[in-house]
A and B are shown apart, each in its own frame.
Chain A
Amino acid sequence: SSNEHKSNFKKSKEACLSYIQDALLQKQWKRAAEFLSCYVESLEKDYSREHIGPSEMIWRIGTEILWHHSQSNMKEFNCFMEQMKTLGVKRYLKVCLEHVFHLLCNGQIDEAYQNLSLAESWRFGEQTAIQDKEMKLIQAYRGLLDYYSWSKQKSILLEHGEDGFSDLAVEREMHGYFRKAAVALKEIIKIPGVWDIFVKCYVDLLEFYGDHNEARQVLNEYAYNSKFPANPNAHVYLYQFLKRQGESKKSLVSALKILHDIVPSHELMIDFNTMLQKSKKRKKRRLGLEVIFAALDYAGWKENAKAWGCLARQVKQIVISEKHLDWIKQEWSSRKDWWPAFHFSRYLAKRNWQENKSLSYEKALVAGILLGKGCKYFKYVSHQGCKAQLKRFRMLKKFMNRHNLVYLRISG
């Protein structure tokens, strides 16, 4: 709206908000509080045409200030939140939920649980239906806290179990929490979304009580249902579950394959490559090579000796067998322009040698194969290694002497 037609009241409150914003960004909580106390009278004026009204502003800003201000305490915070809950019925459940988060951050699990239960029982005409999503979330978090209680009971039970005592009361309580948690968690994960923690906890419950089928179904849904947002963790959970269940390599591989497609730099790629290298199927071994090369494209893996070890092992094996050199050629063709500077510079050679001999060994092996024994990296490390009279480096030198023309065939 045009600035000229705005009343001075409105302009003054807008200016006030901008001072609050500056103060918040600079963490000047006292100053922010001062201006907020001047802003609150906006509540008496209705801004239903605005996108965000004063009541929402005050809730959000007030929460920030009270959370960080040195003189504020949980009592004041809670009192404020209760007021905010009465301010806007359309926002009631949202405010409750955020309040619960703050309580959890402050370690007040019991208070959080009380608030969640209270919110769960809230009914307000047609608002109840409108705020259905928030209600499901509230129930889910309540279920999560039930899981937490179940977990505590479980540890107590296991302790007693070791001592030889069986505690029926604890068991009963535990089952009670299980039921409550399971119902709530099951509900929320039906809705497409990112529910990592709910899924994990639910699966944990199911596994404990032996319902592996349900667990598998849940995880499959979570990972493969296209309505759900793409989530690497879903595949990780599924893989971990399948592993626990002792499933076949085939199913493990298919679970990890998707993870490789989504997140080539995932830490599980080492496991994946290891699995694939051992496979009897050519296709799998080929995939393994692709996987490990892809992972090492990422800066976070540059100094991962294990990953380099995987790659080194595989390319060495290929070179020795003299079969499938074209695999390496294929992988190398898109990397030969930038990997040398990225991984095999003289500077890195020096640094790797200083910091991690194993790393430098593995890398040198790979460098020698891909770039030849005359390349900077190999020359430096090999020289240092032989100077230090380390056996494996001498072996490495011999190996490269034998296969010193491989790199020509690879870069072809």
Chain B
Amino acid sequence: RDFNERCAQCSEVNWGITDGGRFYCRSCHNVTERTREVVNADFMTNSRIQTISKGLRKQEKNDGGSEWYVCEGFQLVLKKQVEALEALGVCPQMKDEILCNFWRCYLQKSKQAYCKRPAGEAVKALSACESSTDVDSDPERPSLLHLLSLSESEGDLQTDCSFVSSVSKVSESTSVYSGSVDGSLYLMKNQKEKLRMTMPMTLSFCYMALLWVREPITLSELLRFVVEGHIPYLNVFQHFPEKMKLCGLDLKIFCVESWPAYEEVFNKMHELAAFLDLPRFPDITESCFLHPDMLCMKYLMEANLPDELHNWTCRVVKKIGIGEVDFLTLMPGNKSTRKVKYDVLAAAVIVVVLKLLFLLDDHYEWLLSELAEERNKNNTEGCPYFEFKKWYEVVKHSLDVKQKKLDEERAKYLWRCEKPLFYSVKNKPKVLKRRQMVVNLQNQFGKLSGSVQRAEKPNPSSFQLSWSEENTDGSCFHGHSLKGVLQEKCGLLTAMNPDYWLCTVKLCNEKLCGHLGHYREVEFPQSYHFVLGLFSFLLRVQPSYIHDEVCMIEHKLFNKKLCKKLKYNAVLRK
């Protein structure tokens, strides 16, 4: 609108704007190199970013929808997520200041907005081909099947094939492969180039923002809240406005069939932080929730272990230096520092402490327990001595009950939402028919389920297991004393246990095989497996994940001894 130069070809001043954002002369269709600067109106409050000037954007398509870009969709998702976090008690700055700035920065860096040549212009090239050629005839353009296979969600071949065959030649300027303008382009992008946005990555954004603000929510908690439904993720697209029609390849982008894995969200977050060239994150100090000392306290409580163990966790933390500010604080892009998984680290510290005190070799801990039991008979002090056996029985029982409930919930989980999804308009009647049948069957068999009500969504809680000291049945071990397993030596309390076994003698190369150690249940003591299993349940990660951290901590802890041993071996070999 503001462009008043004369056209080089016909000298007219009659400008329009292509979808790619370039100016063109309406009279002679001469396209210039000038692009329109991107203008952003209200960022978060308005759900649509006007990232690319839409002078010619069609407001109305024949199905009542309008054009929308994939990143707009993701923006909506993020908005919903951060609102949910706010409802959970996160500070409001996270939404208005932190996350939106991160997002804006991302859009800029990935050239989807806020820059001179938005990536969307390639879309037109894609659509123009459709009207003249067959779907598969262009050898350079990736076939539709190829695009469909690129995405993460599970492809079902028949639907994919039937979709491909139903795509017809259209002369519209928007792609028929997706409801969004750039759906197909999105899947086509080279992943190495621009850190393509995915659903799991939305959680990486959230986590990054939470970390920046140092909120007392760990990544495992965040992911658990997602699974429990407190943070929108699974069918969040059903909250897209009516005019944002979702179909075709959009489904591959926005519909997920798996819960986000800790590792994926974690790694992507770090990639993202580096990509955005973020500076050093705010310091994680001893008073922070994410500091190992704090997290250990929380997990000790949740695991029903004596408070006294906290002294030991602090000692370990101090000894190996993982409580240092520089160790804990994130420096994006710094490849030499180890990326810290705060929750897994804290859990691993507790495991190491348990190994220090109880050995956990399937013999010693039970002996110690018997010893403590004996001493408890004559115990006149206020609090009883901690008996491993009793603790094991109580915790195992609760854990089994919870695990069984969780397994059943997972099996009963309903993945589909009410909003029906279809690949193409031709698909729609069949999809709606199916949905109707599903609803009928759900009703029919639901009635036959008896009086079982579908459980209400539980309130989000930070603690999954809770133990009350008021219970007179002695099932709470917080106040128990460790005197049963400690002895005095030179005025200091040390563990009676003189031994320790390393999870692995040599650490594996993480870059090569992805792990520091290799965990196989049969190769380790049952007690160790139990303890790993307990924290695996609490953090909802695989036991091997925690095992890796344990390996890392052990090697730091016994570093000197190990170095000596290696040197000794080297000498011998010579």
Task: For A76, list chain B residues within 8 Å (CB).
Answer: 444
Within 8 A of B (CB), among A1-34: 6-10, 12, 15-16, 18-19, 29-31, 33-34
Within 8 A of B (CB), among A36-85: 36-38, 40-41, 43-49, 58, 62, 65-66, 69, 71-72, 76, 79-80, 83
Is B157 an interface residue, CB under 8 A from the partner? yes
Q: Is the CB of A40 within 8 A of B154?
A: no
Partner of B437 from the list A16, A35, A66, A83 (CB cut-off 8 Å) is A83
A41 to B438, CA, bound (A): 6
Task: For A58, list chain B residues within 8 Å (CB).
Answer: 441
Within 8 A of A (CB), among B405-431: 407-408, 410-416, 431
Give B137 Cβ to nearest chain A Cβ, in Å. Answer: 27
Is B568 an interface residue, CB under 8 A from the partner? no
A40 to B410, CA, bound (A): 15
Is B27 an interface residue, CB under 8 A from the partner? no
Interface string of B514-538 (1 = CB under 8 A from A): 0000000000000000000000000
Can you name the residue of chain A whose Cβ is closest to the Cβ of B255?
A9
Partner of B158 from the list A33, A46, A86 (CB cut-off 8 Å) is A46
Q: Is the CB of B441 within 8 A of A40?
A: yes
Is B191 an interface residue, CB under 8 A from the partner? no
Stretch at the interface among B318-326, B367-375, B447-455, B468-476: B447-455
Q: Is the CB of B158 within 8 A of A37?
A: no
Give B460 Cβ to nearest chain A Cβ, in Å. Answer: 20
Partner of B415 from the list A18, A29, A30, A41 (CB cut-off 8 Å) is A41
Task: For B407, list chain A residues within 8 Å (CB).
Answer: 15
Partner of B154 from the list A9, A34, A86 (CB cut-off 8 Å) is A9
Q: Is the CB of B450 within 8 A of A43?
A: no
Within 8 A of A (CB), among B149-163: 153-154, 156-159
Q: Is the CB of A29 within 8 A of B441?
A: no
Q: Is the CB of B445 within 8 A of A36?
A: yes
Is A87 an interface residue, CB under 8 A from the partner? yes
A86 to B430, CA, bound (A): 12
Can you name the residue of chain A whose Cβ is closest to the Cβ of B415?
A9
Task: For B447, list chain A residues within 8 Å (CB).
Answer: 71
Is B379 an interface residue, CB under 8 A from the partner? no
Is B434 an interface residue, CB under 8 A from the partner? yes
Q: With contacts A19-B411, A38-B413, A62-B445 known, is A83 near B440, CB below 8 A?
A: yes
Is B442 an interface residue, CB under 8 A from the partner? yes
Task: For B449, list chain A residues within 8 Å (CB).
Answer: 30-31, 33-34, 37
A66 to B448, CA, bound (A): 9
A33 to B446, CA, bound (A): 7
Q: Is the CB of A12 within 8 A of B158?
A: no
Interface string of A209-247 (1 = CB under 8 A from B): 000000000000000000000000000000000000000
Task: For A46, list chain B residues within 8 Å (CB).
Answer: 156, 158-159
Interface centre among B158, B431, B438, B445 (most CB of A within 10 A): B445
Task: For A44, list chain B residues within 8 Å (CB).
Answer: 416, 431, 434-435, 438
Q: Is the CB of A9 within 8 A of B258?
A: yes
Q: With contacts A7-B258, A41-B416, A46-B156 known, is A12 near B441, CB below 8 A?
A: no
Q: With contacts A7-B257, A45-B156 known, is A30 near B411, CB below 8 A?
A: no
What is the size, in residues, of chain B's interface with A at 8 Å between Cβ atoms?
34
Q: Is the CB of A43 within 8 A of B448?
A: no
Task: For B154, list chain A residues within 8 Å (CB).
Answer: 6-7, 9-10
Partner of B448 from the list A12, A19, A48, A65 (CB cut-off 8 Å) is A65
Chain A contact residues: helix, strand, loop or mixed = helix
Interface string of B258-285 (1 = CB under 8 A from A): 1100000000000000000000000000
Can you name the residue of chain A whose Cβ is closest to the Cβ of B452?
A34
Q: Is the CB of B442 within 8 A of A72?
A: no
Q: Is the CB of A80 within 8 A of B411?
A: no
Q: Is the CB of B445 within 8 A of A12?
A: no
Q: Is the CB of B448 within 8 A of A29?
A: yes
Q: With contacts A38-B412, A44-B431 known, is A33 near B257, CB below 8 A?
A: no
Q: Is the CB of B415 within 8 A of A12?
A: yes
Q: With contacts A7-B154, A10-B257, A58-B441 known, is A15 near B411, CB below 8 A?
A: yes
A35 to B446, CA, bound (A): 9
Q: Is the CB of A48 within 8 A of B444?
A: no
A76 to B441, CA, bound (A): 11
A19 to B431, CA, bound (A): 28
A86 to B434, CA, bound (A): 10
A80 to B445, CA, bound (A): 10
A36 to B408, CA, bound (A): 13
Can you name the residue of chain A whose Cβ is closest to the Cβ of B410?
A12
Partner of A38 from the list B414, B437, B448, B450 (CB cut-off 8 Å) is B414
A44 to B415, CA, bound (A): 10
Give B446 Cβ to nearest chain A Cβ, in Å. Answer: 5
Q: Is the CB of A30 within 8 A of B437?
A: no
Task: For B438, list chain A residues within 8 Å (CB).
Answer: 40-41, 43-44
Task: For B415, list chain A residues within 8 Å (CB).
Answer: 9, 12, 41
Give B540 Cβ to nearest chain A Cβ, in Å. Answer: 12
Task: For A41, list chain B residues within 8 Å (CB).
Answer: 414-416, 438, 442
Q: Is the CB of A34 within 8 A of B441?
A: no
Q: Is the CB of B444 within 8 A of A34?
A: no
Partner of A9 from the list B257, B412, B440, B450 (CB cut-off 8 Å) is B257
Give B154 Cβ to nearest chain A Cβ, in Å. Answer: 5
Q: Is the CB of B258 within 8 A of A8?
A: yes
Binding site for B on A (CB under 8 A): 6-10, 12, 15-16, 18-19, 29-31, 33-38, 40-41, 43-49, 58, 62, 65-66, 69, 71-72, 76, 79-80, 83, 86-87
> Apart from A34-B445, A48-B158, what 11 extra A-B contacts exist at CB < 8 Å?
A7-B153, A19-B408, A29-B448, A30-B452, A34-B446, A41-B414, A41-B442, A48-B157, A72-B448, A80-B444, A86-B437
Offer 15 A-B interface pairs, CB within 8 angstroms, sorted by A.
Answer: A7-B153, A16-B412, A30-B450, A33-B445, A34-B412, A34-B445, A34-B446, A34-B452, A41-B442, A44-B434, A46-B156, A49-B157, A66-B448, A76-B444, A87-B437
Closest 8 CB pairs of A and B: A34-B449, A9-B257, A33-B448, A7-B257, A37-B445, A48-B158, A30-B450, A15-B411
